[in-house]
């Protein structure tokens, strides 16, 4: 089986939207520091680009959670693979994710982080698939709402491939 990649969102459109989001986030946290929690692996590309454009003081930590394995659909089983290195109690925390699909992973993650008593907890995602949602998740900042197609690029992968594409593409499988 092989696959083709069809461009869904161009590199230029992504860069423009990240700049807009950074301005909105910087305004919200004006006068305060924001602690970014990047959700690995896919979220690291978006987190770095967003962090470079924020005008408020930033600190960054990483978490790795999984509900996919080597499939194109969420398994529904969430596991923490790598936890935070630093405590978040009393911090303004912004979770930065590449994509929100069913909402299971992010719902679990947000509840987990909320229990650690941050000063504030908000969620930012580059991509959102609202029609796939099975668990309600409040998203504070969304780059793009996309249709229910399997996407890669800008950190998102298909079996660990295509993360480095500078755009968002749709995987089209060939028999």
What residues act catalytically? 101
**Cα–Cα distance between 42 and 155 in angstroms, integer?**
4
**Cα–Cα distance between 32 and 128 in angstroms, integer?**
27
**Cα–Cα distance between 44 and 41 in angstroms, integer?**
6
Tell me the two tokens of residue 46.
């978006």
134-168 burial: b if 16+ Cβ within 10 Å, else e? eeebebebbbbebeeebbbbbbbbbeeebbebebb
Rg (CA), the chain: 16
Length of the chain: 175
């Amino acid at each position: 089986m092989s696959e083709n990649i069809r461009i869904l969102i161009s590199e230029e459109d992504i860069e423009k939207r990240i700049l807009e989001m950074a301005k909105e986030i910087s305004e919200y946290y004006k006068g305060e520091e924001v602690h970014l929690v990047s959700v690995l692996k896919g979220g690291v590309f978006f987190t770095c680009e967003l962090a470079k454009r924020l005008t408020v003081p930033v600190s960054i930590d990483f978490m790795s959670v999984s509900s996919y394995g080597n499939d194109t659909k969420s398994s529904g089983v969430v596991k923490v693979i790598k936890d935070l290195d630093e405590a978040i109690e009393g911090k303004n925390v912004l979770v930065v994710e590449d994509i929100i699909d069913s909402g299971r992973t992010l719902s679990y993650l947000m509840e987990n982080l909320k229990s650690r008593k941050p000063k504030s907890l908000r969620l930012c995602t580059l991509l959102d698939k609202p029609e796939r949602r099975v668990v309600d998740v409040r998203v504070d900042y969304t780059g793009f709402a996309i249709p229910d197609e399997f996407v890669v690029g800008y950190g998102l992968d298909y079996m660990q491939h295509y993360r480095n594409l500078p755009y968002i593409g749709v995987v089209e499988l060939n028999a």
